[in-house]
Amino acid sequence: MVKVVSINDQTGQVSFAGIPATRGAQVAIDEINDTKFLGDTTIDVEYLDSASAPQTAASLATQAVAGRKYSAILGGILTTEAFTVAPIAEKAKVPVIFTQSNGEGVVIGDYTFRATASFTRYYDVMGSYLKDKGVKTIALLYNSDVASYKELAALIEDWDSEFGISIVASKSVVSSTQDFTAPIASLVDAKPDAVAKFLLGTANATALQQLRQAGFDGPVVSTNSDSGGIIAGAGPDGANNAWPTDFSSAQTDDAAVKFVAAYKAKFDGEVPNLYAAEGYDAVWWLARAIKEAGSADPEDIQEGLVAVSKTGFSGVTGDITFDGNEFVLENPRVVEWNGEAETLVEP
């Protein structure tokens, strides 16, 4: 048996992402063990709740590596948590695989891995998307205390030269903000053609409603924080909102259809989102590394993870390639929310 610990957000601000990531991992574990992918060896995961708190994540990681009973760590969603966990794993030489945790400075050495492509590596696809819609100006609303969202806001500053889209207004708010009336009024006054909205969780639905109530009816681009129905609460106001992603339940390829069916069967009809798909692919990366290593030793598994990254593999998020220790998203999908469901934008 290979023992693994999952340190992820089952409660707290990003539990909307941590719970499905954990459930996707559980679907993968079932498949790996039931199909005897590792022969008579099974993977056993202990699930711990970091509660969207960096200090809690660090404490759990410290305890996990101190006992030397785990072969690997499945990390959480928040970049701020990853900042605390990554150096602990590196020092202890226990491989950790994060999902999301999109900020720079997460993959810091030989033992830190990320089963998600960084936002900033593929978000320009939304610049092309807006250019095709004739957008010339954009306003920004983003969480200033989310590192990856600050990086995205900075990236859009280059859209003027790349896509002819200039920023006419920008407002930052902390992630605990639930009323966006004042910053949105300022943004709408600037009369942008489009709005970029980088917020965590259910705040996205609130912001969309308030944008429409303020009279803005143009396109909105956001992040995969909107995925999996998180913006369903916006109702019709959620329409004309799009984001790039590595997975959508609207996909019709065989791997995605099979995964969606397995996930729904295990979790009472719940439809998986991209966080679930990334959690699933992260565990399959780990399983392939264990098979490559032929060992439960953390240092051997680290070498196995690197070996798998050199060849890539096919997952539910697509044919996965790597840049060093992290996924690359070469062909991001663009998803639109039509007010009721996700629809894939045809390339």
With cut-offs at 50, 70 and 90, classify the pLDDT of residue 330: confident
Query: Which residues lie across from 62 on neighbouring strands?
Result: none
Cα–Cα distance, 306 to 46 (Å, whole number): 24
Q: What is the pLDDT of residue 103?
A: 82
Per-residue confidence at 198, pLDDT binned at 50, 70, 90?
very high
**pLDDT tens, 227-262?**
877 888 899 999 999 999 999 888 889 999 999 999
Q: How far apart are CA 129 and CA 163, in angstroms?
A: 10
Q: What is the largest CA-CA distance in the chain?
A: 64
DSSP category for residue 75: -
DSSP code, position 155: H
> What pLDDT score does 84 carry?
97
pLDDT band with cut points at 50, 70 and 90 for residue 187: very high
What is the average pLDDT across 203-220?
Answer: 96
**Residue 225 has what pLDDT?**
86
Average pLDDT, the chain: 94
Give the tens place of pLDDT for each residue, 52-79.
999 999 999 999 999 889 999 999 999 9
Q: Which amino acid is at 1?
A: M
One-letter amino acid at 93 equals K
pLDDT, tens digit (0-9, with 9 covering 90-100), for 297-318 = 999 999 999 999 999 999 999 8
Q: Assess whether pLDDT exceeds 70 at residue 347.
A: no
For 326, the token pair is 């992290």
pLDDT at residue 102 in the model: 85
Mean pLDDT of 168-191: 97
